[in-house]
Amino acid sequence: MGCFSCFDSSDDEKLNPVDESNHVQKKQSQPTVSNNISGLPSGGEKLSSKTNGGSKRELLLPRDGLGQIAAHTFAFRELAAATMNFHPDTFLGEGGFGRVYKGRLDSTGQVVAVKQLDRNGLQGNREFLVEVLMLSLLHHPNLVNLIGYCADGDQRLLVYEFMPLGSLEDHLHDLPPDKEALDWNMRMKIAAGAAKGLEFLHDKANPPVIYRDFKSSNILLDEGFHPKLSDFGLAKLGPTGDKSHVSTRVMGTYGYCAPEYAMTGQLTVKSDVYSFGVVFLELITGRKAIDSEMPHGEQNLVAWARPLFNDRRKFIKLADPRLKGRFPTRALYQALAVASMCIQEQAATRPLIADVVTALSYLANQAYDPSKDDSRRNRDERGARLITRNDDGGGSGSKFDLEGSEKEDSPRETARILNRDINRERAVAEAKMWGESLREKRRQSEQGTSESNSTG
């Protein structure tokens, strides 16, 4: 999916570069950067932008991970040579604002990804400047690393670290038949890592950065399936002071946009949380956010999944069939509870991304071993599925027939159970730290007493 208005492509909401430029001048909430790339700041300068009232807002350094603008400047001929003059064999894919090629830098031998922006219109140039700014300033293990850029004449290119495993979208929706689907553990690991990248943008940057285009194709994977967020051209600086939102033209990808943003243009960090929930549902279900090839009523992932959230007996239907049942059932319920909270219609009822990170870190650390029996899921000879809540604090010990007529459980109840487990894990960890600290103090005290006695 490319970048366009969050409304269906049939709606008359296509980007007009001239109109967008005028709109940006009126409602600009991201740093003002000269069209001349040589005007980009260097070495930790503060960047300012004018609000509607004319006052300046500074893009301050985050509390960690934000350093100097150290991106290298490339000549166009260097990148042409690196990609064999942008040969079709080096073509990796096409995004909302340009084509991406694989290249090797002659100077260092480093393999890189080179994005050549579309030169038509002002929007491509604006997107280029925003991306250089954001990725030069913001550094985190879950954000793609910008190596450099090129601004020769009318050429606009960005050079990133190469992510050899492609995008999450590739592994969920474009996987060759001979390739194994992502297993449960890997899906939770990817979700947790992507959430950490979003948490950095929301909570460490000051003012916060709203990603605005969180989707599976923008999550890239390295050799170890470590996720990194990419493509920051639509990113916006979030509200400051007593403001609750940023007003902007509705842009993004249909199927991922939060409903309040699509309807009003009011953007908050909770808009990103909604988009994260859609991607998390993709990871759980294996379905696309929007799939026109699915039967009517199942083409929109969120619209299809929401009714199923109301009945725990139907939760199993939400699991990706390619997992072939190899997942911990209780963890599936917990993951669905997180997803359901993220895609709430009302932004105020969605969790903060920091809370999502806490929940998903817990799930990612509960490694599932498919070679062992899942004590919470058993199949009898008729194939009926039973859920057993054990005596480890995980429930009442009662059984639930998912294909029978037991009581319905809401996602909020599942979320409550998940939060209780997370709090228990946190309490255990804090108790261990307290115990270790106490033992260390005792050891130091005993050592001091021993030294005192020896000198006396």
CATH number of the domain where residue 208 is located: 1.10.510.10
Q: Would residue 180 count as lying in a domain?
A: yes
Q: Are strands 72-73 and 146-150 parallel, antiparallel or unpaired?
A: parallel
Q: Would residue 19 count as lying in a domain?
A: no
Q: Are residues 152 and 229 in the same domain?
A: no
Q: Would residue 357 count as lying in a domain?
A: yes
* DSSP, res 3: -
Q: Helix, strand or coil for residue 165?
A: coil
Q: Would residue 236 count as lying in a domain?
A: yes
Q: Would residue 397 count as lying in a domain?
A: no
Q: How many CA atoms lie within 13 A of 298 on its CB side?
A: 8
Global pTM? 0.70
Q: Are residues 349 and 235 in the same domain?
A: yes
Range of the domain at 241: 168-374
Q: Please report, in range form, the residues annotated as the binding site for ATP.
A: 115
The answer to whether the beta carbons of residues 71 and 132 sit under 8 Å apart is: yes
Q: Are residues 189 and 313 in the same domain?
A: yes
Tokens for 230? 């990419």
Tell me the C-alpha distance between 54 and 84, whole Å: 47
Per-residue pLDDT of the chain (456 residues; tens, 9 = 90+): 555 456 444 343 333 333 333 333 333 333 333 333 334 433 333 333 333 333 333 344 344 444 455 678 999 999 999 999 999 999 998 866 789 999 999 999 999 999 998 776 445 676 777 778 777 888 899 999 989 999 888 888 999 999 999 999 999 999 888 889 999 999 999 999 999 999 999 999 877 888 888 999 999 999 999 999 998 766 666 655 555 556 556 676 889 999 998 888 888 899 999 999 999 999 999 999 999 999 998 999 999 999 999 888 889 999 999 999 999 999 999 999 999 999 999 999 999 999 999 999 999 999 898 877 554 454 433 333 333 333 333 333 333 232 333 344 455 555 665 555 556 555 555 555 666 666 676 777 777 766 666 665
Domain final residue pick, 109, 131, 161: 161
Q: Which helix (H) or strand (E) holds 365?
A: helix 353-365
Q: Are residues 181 and 114 in the same domain?
A: no
Tell me the C-alpha distance between 137 and 132, whole Å: 8
Name the residue type at position 82. Answer: A
Domain final residue pick, 118, 139, 161: 161
Q: What CATH number is attached to the domain comprising 76?
A: 3.30.200.20
Active site residue ranges: 213
Q: Would residue 254 count as lying in a domain?
A: yes
Residue spans of alpha helices (H) in 1-53: 17-26
Tell me the C-alpha distance between 146 and 139, whole Å: 9
The answer to whether the beta carbons of residues 122 and 207 sit under 8 Å apart is: no
Name the residue type at position 80. Answer: A
Q: Are residues 34 and 130 in the same domain?
A: yes
